[in-house]
Amino acid sequence: MSRSRGLFTYENGLLVLLGMSFGVAFFDRNAATILVPYIDKDLHLTNTQIGFIGSGLAITWALGAYFIALWSDARGVRKPFLLAFLLIFSACSFISGLATTFPVLLISRMIMGAVEGPFLPICLAIMALESSEHRRGINAGIMQNFFAALLGQSVAPLVLVPLAEHFGWRSAFYIAGIPGLLCAVAVLLWVREPTRAAQEAHHAASDGAEPVRMRLFDMLKARNIWLCCVISIFMVAWLIMGWTFLPKFFVALRGLPGATMGYLMTTLGISSALSGFGAPAISDRIGRKPIMITFCLSGVIAPLAVLYFQGPLVILGALLFVGWLASGAFPLFMGVIPGETIPRRYAATAMGLVVCVGEVVGGFGITSLAGKLADLSSLTTPVFLMVACALTGGLLCFFLIETAPVKVRAVAPQAVAARAA
């Protein structure tokens, strides 16, 4: 990857390689929940244990996203962390396939989460340094959403379900670990380590010569930051409950074949891939707040369709597609809005904070509770909780302060005129 002009630039090659690597990480994250109907036959899991498969990984993902990313910032190095993460989460995929008990499976998933959580912040830190100024936003959106949705949500069900059907769920885990090893080789050969001088120059250019110092509680004083944290709690819970419980719901309660379940879950991935960069792009034109409200509230459609729609599967798939467009709000409340609210020097830390709070309270806490309640009642309970989470997240969006440059610039002259009057 050289700095040649045109399509084959280092920037473009880096975007594809790091985006593919994060997509592979998300592929591995979702593998266990997609394979739950098959694992359940061997390990005889309770709904509480199924909830822990998703929530246990979520809490270590959250802690890793914040603390290991901070460690990387303090060390001033990126590439060694990426290589270690790729090797470790690939090994965890193999260990998941070897698991003969639930504790072994859970521990392997939690270790995987600890190294996958900081993977995205470190990739974004590298990409920000190597991106052209006019492409920083779209590069971040493509890396964070497109590849993750394409590989982790669209391709994963199409690949893993047939593998589990024909070769068993253990073989599916073994094969899922191979792409991470290939990505590690590619990162070793082609990704160069950003220099500390380049990182300091980037921050100085972004925040000015005298950046304002911000600590954790300083960030939380900003309305948008703490609101994004609370919105993250409910929307992350909505997302993880969907990926954790819907596969078993389709097979166990709706009586659908595994292949059909795989196609329906793939529909969610396609929706997420399109909305992941479509929603931020639209928000550039009409504002962050209306897109956040509309997309988060659309999240009630998917679980309601799962609960009540009994018509053709094609229409069910279409309803799931529309409802899962809510995932397009994630790059806004996890990255764009925090980055436009506080100095850019602290944007990565703010993103880690929003992710950490959402994954710990929503991904771990609410999803674990949903599994326990499902054992006490039925699998419909987590789906009803998805409706409540999307509704709450959407209503909270009404209190956000608009940060889109096109809207802020339009309001600024009016504010100056009002003060002059």
pLDDT tens digits, 363-407: 889 999 999 999 999 999 999 999 999 999 999 999 999 988 888
Quick one: pLDDT at residue 118? 83
* pLDDT recorded at residue 204: 53
CATH 1.20.1250.20 fits 10-193+214-416, yes or no: yes
Sign of the four-CA dihedral 280, 286, 287, 288: negative
Contact indicator for 336, 283 with CB cutoff of 8 Å: yes
- Give the pLDDT confidence score for residue 152 in this predicted structure: 83
- 67 CB burial (10 A radius; 0-12, 13-18, 19+): middle
CA–CA distance, 90 with 322 (Å, rounded to integer): 33
Q: How far apart are CA 324 and CA 272, in angstroms?
A: 6
Identify the pLDDT of residue 137.
58
Give me the pLDDT at residue 420, please. Answer: 43
pTM above 0.85, yes or no: no
* The residue count for the chain: 421
Cβ contact 212:388 at 8 Å:
no
Tokens found for residue 160 = 């893993």
Amino acid letter, 338: P
pLDDT for 378 equals: 92
Spatial CA neighbour of 397 closest among 298, 305, 325? 298
Nearest CA to 269 out of 147, 166, 386, 176 is that of 147
Three-state secondary structure string covering the chain: CCCCCCCCCHHHHHHHHHHHHHHHHHHHHHHHHHCHHHHHHHHCCCHHHHHHHHHHHHHHHHHHHHHHHHHHHHHCCCHHHHHHHHHHHHHHHHHHHHCCCHHHHHHHHHHHHHHHCCHHHHHHHHHHHHCCHHHHHHHHHHHHHHHHHHHHHHHHHHHHHHHHHHHCHHHHHHHHCHHHHHHHHHHHHHCCCCCHHHHHHHHHHHHCCCCCCCCHHHHHCCHHHHHHHHHHHHHHHHHHHHHHHHHHHHHHHCCCCHHHHHHHHHHHHHHHHHHHHHHHHHHHHHCHHHHHHHHHHHCCHHHHHHHHCCCCHHHHHHHHHHHHHHHHHHHHHHHHHHHHHCCHHHHHHHHHHHHHHHHHHHHHHHHHHHHHHHHHCCCHHHHHHHHHHHHHHHHHHHHCCCCCHHHHHHHHHHHHHHHHC
How far is residue 277's CA from residue 146's CA, in Å, rounded to a whole number?
7
Tokens of 94: 């193999």
Q: Give the residue from 51, 156, 161, 167 showing the smallest Cα distance to 109.
A: 51
Query: Can you give the pLDDT at residue 136?
Result: 61
Per-residue pLDDT, 411: 62
pLDDT at residue 355 in the model: 83
Q: Which structure tokens are listed for 420?
A: 């002059």
Q: How far apart are CA 302 and CA 321, in angstroms?
A: 8
pLDDT along the chain (421 residues), means of 10: 61 90 88 90 90 86 79 77 92 94 94 86 78 66 79 88 93 93 94 65 50 71 94 96 93 92 92 85 89 97 96 96 94 84 73 85 92 94 98 98 83 46 43
The pLDDT of residue 421 is 43
| Single-letter amino acid code for the residue at 317 | G
pLDDT for position 78: 82
In this structure, which amino acid lies at residue 414? Q
| Inter-CA distances, 319 with 38, 112, 308, 350, Å | 26, 32, 11, 34
Nearest to 338 by CA among 408, 403, 275: 403
* Amino acid letter, residue 61: W
Q: How far apart are CA 88 and CA 183, in angstroms?
A: 12
Q: What is the CA radius of gyration of the chain?
A: 21
